[in-house]
Amino acid sequence: MNVVRVIYLDQNIVVDVCECMRSSKQHARSEQRALRLQIERCVDEGLAIFPYSEVHLSETANVSDQESRTEQVSFHDARAVEVNQLHAILEERPVRFSRELAIHRSPLTFEQELPEPDLEAKKQRAESFKGLAKYWAGKLTRDLSGTIRHREVDGIIRLILEDLTNFLRTGTFPLRRIFSKHNDIHSELCWHLRDRGSAKPFEGALCWLQTNALRIPSLLIDFLATEYVAEQFAADAKFRRKVEKAETDHDANDIEAAAH
């Protein structure tokens, strides 16, 4: 039986294998060209897919080289993974990996899929994670283990409510927020409940998430990884990490990679 593998590539590697075919970038890039050919072979033969994470989309949006941005189209967006798993749970089907379902198909071009460039987003994400690390550093391991996953669920719900409040107050909804992971899942739940006659699908979707979010494998992996990282900052951690030396932007990227 053919086993389809999911392989996550660091953004630097993605850029290298996209740009290496350009005549201006070909010098001394034989290894990258060989890697690109192997990637294309694996995709064509159904041996592997290479998901394009939400972090990648954000970083690509900030690439100033237009040609480089356009060439990064061979790597599939992984945002649809959570939604596919959600539907399997709602329809009481086993959550199984399928190459065809994991590939995000959209009527938009890759360029249209990209969020608005936001040079501060990566910095803000890293600083936000570092703030959490400082909080965790004052806790004991027993206070973090089995706890953070539930706080992450609470965080999803808080973000959904914040987005709604901001929309009602300002009348605007930034594209990067519309297509965020938490809003994708909540929107799908709303449609599911509406189709079944719910009079309050918005509230019902929030209640479902509060109770069932950890049944979605990709979310659970994301939150368990966050919990694992948190335990490394705990005051009684055996191999404790120091917050001031932590590369929290890499932590955030690696956690999302693991989830995808």
In this prediction, residues 161-180 reach a mean pLDDT of 80
pLDDT band at 179 (very low <50, low <70, confident <90, very high): low
Predicted pLDDT at 36: 83
Domains in the chain, number: 2
Confirm if 61 and 116 have CB atoms less than 8 A apart. Answer: yes
Task: Assess whether 126 and 205 both reside in one domain.
Answer: yes
Calculate ∠ Cα 139-207-94, nearest 5°.
Answer: 90
Residues 178 and 62 in one domain: no
Which of 19-33, 64-78, 214-228, 236-250 is predicted least confidently?
64-78
Nearest to 133 by CA among 254, 6, 242: 242
Residues 149 and 213 in one domain: yes
Cα separation, 50 vs 9, whole angstroms: 7
Full domain range(s) for residue 209: 121-259
Check whether 11 has a pLDDT greater than 60.
yes
Q: Read off the pLDDT of residues 186-234 as tens digits, 9 standing for 90 and up.
A: 999 999 999 999 999 999 999 999 999 999 988 898 899 889 888 988 8
Residue 148, CA distances (Å) to 131, 132, 220 in order: 14, 11, 11
In this structure, the answer to whether residues 168 and 254 fall within a common structural domain is yes
Query: Can you give the pLDDT at residue 247?
Result: 76
Same domain for 125 and 73: no
> 241-256, pLDDT tens digit by residue?
888 777 777 777 777 7
Q: Of the ranges 57-61, 169-173, 224-228, which one carries the lowest mean pLDDT score? A: 57-61
Q: Are 132 and 230 in contact (CB under 8 A)?
A: yes
Tell whether 61 and 166 lie within a shared domain: no
Average pLDDT value for the chain: 78
Whether 202 and 253 map to the same domain: the answer is yes
Residue 18 pLDDT greater than 90, yes or no: no
CA distance linking residue 216 with residue 237, whole number of Å: 29
Instruction: Give the pLDDT confidence score for residue 25 in this predicted structure.
Output: 61
pLDDT at 140: 92
257 versus 9: the higher-pLDDT residue is: 9
pLDDT at residue 13 is higher than 60: yes
Residue for token digits 């590539």? 9
Residues 147 and 251 grouped into a single domain: yes
- The more confidently predicted of residues 223 and 19 is 223
CA atoms of 223 and 117, how far apart (whole Å): 27
pTM of the model: 0.68
Are 129 and 70 in the same domain? no
Whether residue 95 is found in the same domain as residue 135: no
Give me the DSSP letters along the chain. Answer: -PPPEE----HHHHHHHHHTTSGGG-TT-HHHHHHHHHHHHHHHTTSEE-EE-HHHHHHHHT---HHHHHHTTSSEE-THHHHHHHHHHHTT------HHHHS---SS-HHHHSPPP-TTHHHHHHHHHHHHHHHHHTS-HHHHTTTHHHHHHHHHHHHHHHHHHHHHHHS---HHHHTSHHHHHHHHHHHHHHHTT-S-HHHHHHHHHHHHGGGSHHHHHHHHHHHHHHHHHSTT-TTPPPGGG--HHHHHHHHHHHH-
**Which domain-ending residue is among 82, 113, 144?**
113
Tell me the per-residue pLDDT of 88-137, one tens digit each, with 9 for 90 and over.
899 998 877 655 555 555 566 656 666 666 666 666 666 777 888 888 88
| 210 phi/psi in degrees, rounded to 5 | -60, -35
Per-residue model confidence as pLDDT tens digits over 139-153: 999 999 899 999 999
| Residue where a domain stops, chosen among 63, 84, 113 | 113
pLDDT on residue 202:
94
Cα gap 260→213, rounded to integer Å: 16
Greater confidence (139 vs 77) lies with: 139
Question: Which residue, 113, 140, 168, sits at the end of a domain?
Answer: 113
